[in-house]
């Protein structure tokens, strides 16, 4: 088979994660620039029935391994299976999501296939048939560009929520090919998972995030942010100070030791803007800061700033949003 661009799709709880469609769309763009076809590798339990969906994002062919033993990501099972499937495609470039599982898979795959990996990429450029990738370093303070020399195979994990999903208008289904790859016997197993099933917007995939910091004063005050988030279809995040105070779970923490997010709009409420917090949200498209201290560092990063007591501003703002929504509907 001729060389192709290969994307590795991430499948969880019966569906592809949104970032898989972002990576497929980016893969299509890069494949077009290189004059190659876009293929995919998809592994999981129940993935065969959904694999064709990748066609809507420009994937022509998907290699599928559908096995109950691949329900949860485990390095022991996923890495050898994915490595074997990728090798069968003989790719010129491998793309995968820079999610928690994707980063783990990418680094192990890089070592196993002895290829050159760059993680958490936010931009890919093709020049004269060569690939260049841009990625943040020093907690997002600077950016580095990497390019691959000789015939090194580039493996790139793409930061979620940065590359856009480009869905075809026509209902195109990818050609699905089931592959016979043995799944190794795992020595560990996942006994339970703790995914949020309440329908809340996932922080790393949210288009709007409202985060509260130490200025929220206590856990119960987050009800205010939850209410506003519900109206805006947003997710609620937190600074480490709020998480350390026990007001929010660690899964809500944004920053260097929390989640890296890239929403369209990030609203920081009662957050000072420490470098470790900025590391997690500094690449948001628009940053709005609400803080009573006009000298808070967050204002130097914000596109819009409100110098006000959050306990006055948030209820008034929520009311205005509610009115606007009722006149629009």
- Whether residue 236 contacts residue 210, with contact meaning beta carbons closer than 8 Å, is answered with yes
Report how far residue 212's alpha carbon sits from residue 236's, in angstroms, rounded to the nearest whole number.
8
Question: CB 162 → ligand FAD: shortest distance, Å?
Answer: 19
**Which one of 270, 284, 287, 305 is in contact with ligand FAD (CB under 6 A)?**
270
- Which of the stretches 112-120, 145-153, 182-190, 306-314 binds ligand FAD when contact is defined by CB under 6 A? 306-314
Which C-beta is closer to ligand FAD: that of 258 or that of 305?
A: 258
b/e sequence 211-242, b meaning 16+ C-beta within 10 Å: bbbbbbeeeebbebbeebbeebebbbbbbbbb
DSSP tag of 202: P
Which C-beta is closer to ligand FAD: that of 200 or that of 250?
A: 250
Report how far residue 113's alpha carbon sits from residue 127's, in angstroms, rounded to the nearest whole number.
25
Decide: is 311 part of the binding site for ligand FAD (CB under 6 A): yes
Which C-beta is closer to ligand FAD: that of 161 or that of 291?
A: 291
Cα-atom radius of gyration of the chain, to the nearest Å? Answer: 21
Burial class (CB in 10 A: 0-12, 13-18, 19+), 248: buried
Report how far residue 23's alpha carbon sits from residue 9's, in angstroms, rounded to the nearest whole number.
8
The position carrying tokens 């119960």 is: 220
Decide: is 257 part of the binding site for ligand FAD (CB under 6 A): yes
Cα separations in angstroms, 27 against 43, 91, 107, 128: 18, 12, 19, 17
**Which one of 47, 267, 271, 289 is in contact with ligand FAD (CB under 6 A)?**
271
Question: CB 311 → ligand FAD: shortest distance, Å?
Answer: 5
Decide: is 296 part of the binding site for ligand FAD (CB under 6 A): yes
Decide: is 251 part of the binding site for ligand FAD (CB under 6 A): no
Give Cβ neighbours of residue 173 (< 8 Å, ≥ 6 apart): 52, 53, 55, 56
- How many other C-beta atoms are found inside a 10 Å radius of the C-beta of residue 162? 18
Question: CB 314 → ligand FAD: shortest distance, Å?
Answer: 9
Decide: is 239 part of the binding site for ligand FAD (CB under 6 A): yes
The position carrying tokens 């339970």 is: 192
SS3 203: helix
Decide: is 45 part of the binding site for ligand FAD (CB under 6 A): no
**Which one of 44, 140, 255, 263 is in contact with ligand FAD (CB under 6 A)?**
255
Decide: is 276 part of the binding site for ligand FAD (CB under 6 A): yes
Nearest in space to 2 (alpha carbons), one of 69, 128, 92, 134:
92
Residues 204-233 within binding reach of ligand FAD (CB under 6 A): 213-215
**Which one of 12, 18, 29, 292 is in contact with ligand FAD (CB under 6 A)?**
292
Contact code string over 101-120 relative to ligand FAD, x by CB under 6 A: --------------------
- Which of the stretches 79-87, 182-190, 220-228, 275-283 binds ligand FAD when contact is defined by CB under 6 A? 275-283
- Which of the stretches 104-112, 113-121, 141-149, 240-248 binds ligand FAD when contact is defined by CB under 6 A? 240-248
**Which one of 272, 283, 284, 318 is in contact with ligand FAD (CB under 6 A)?**
272
Which C-beta is closer to ligand FAD: that of 163 or that of 228?
A: 228
Site of interaction with ligand FAD (CB under 6 A):
213-215, 239-242, 253-258, 270-272, 274, 276-277, 280, 291-293, 296, 309-311
């Amino acid at each position: 088979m001729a060389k192709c661009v290969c994307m590795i799709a991430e499948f969880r709880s019966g569906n592809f994660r949104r970032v898989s469609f972002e990576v497929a769309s980016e893969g299509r763009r890069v494949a077009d620039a290189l004059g190659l076809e876009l293929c995919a590798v998809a592994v999981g339990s129940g993935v065969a029935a959904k694999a064709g969906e990748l066609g809507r994002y420009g994937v022509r062919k998907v290699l599928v391994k559908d096995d109950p033993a691949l329900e949860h990501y485990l390095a022991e099972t996923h890495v050898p299976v994915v490595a074997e499937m990728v090798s069968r495609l003989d790719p010129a470039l491998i793309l995968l999501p820079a999610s928690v599982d994707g980063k783990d898979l990418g680094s192990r795959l890089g070592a196993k296939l002895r290829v050159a990996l760059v993680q958490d990429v936010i931009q890919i450029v093709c020049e004269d048939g060569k690939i260049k990738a841009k990625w943040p370093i020093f907690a997002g303070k600077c950016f580095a560009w990497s390019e691959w020399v000789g015939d090194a195979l580039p493996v790139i994990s793409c930061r979620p929520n940065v590359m856009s999903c480009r869905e075809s208008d026509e209902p195109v289904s990818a050609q699905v090919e089931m592959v016979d790859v043995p799944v190794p016997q795992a020595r560990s197993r996942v006994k339970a998972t703790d995914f949020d099933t309440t329908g809340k917007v996932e922080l790393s995939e949210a288009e709007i995030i409202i985060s509260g910091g130490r200025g929220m004063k206590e856990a119960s005050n987050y009800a205010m942010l939850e209410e506003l988030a519900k109206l805006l279809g947003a997710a609620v995040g937190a600074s480490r100070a709020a998480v350390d105070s026990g007001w929010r779970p660690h899964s809500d923490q944004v920053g260097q030791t929390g989640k890296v997010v890239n929403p369209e709009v990030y609203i920081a409420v009662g957050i000072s803007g420490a470098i470790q917090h900025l590391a997690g949200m500094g690449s948001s498209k628009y940053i709005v800061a609400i803080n009573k201290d006009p000298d808070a560092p967050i204002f130097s990063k914000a596109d819009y700033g409100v110098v006000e007591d959050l306990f006055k501003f948030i209820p008034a703002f929520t009311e205005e949003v509610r009115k606007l929504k009722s006149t629009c509907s």
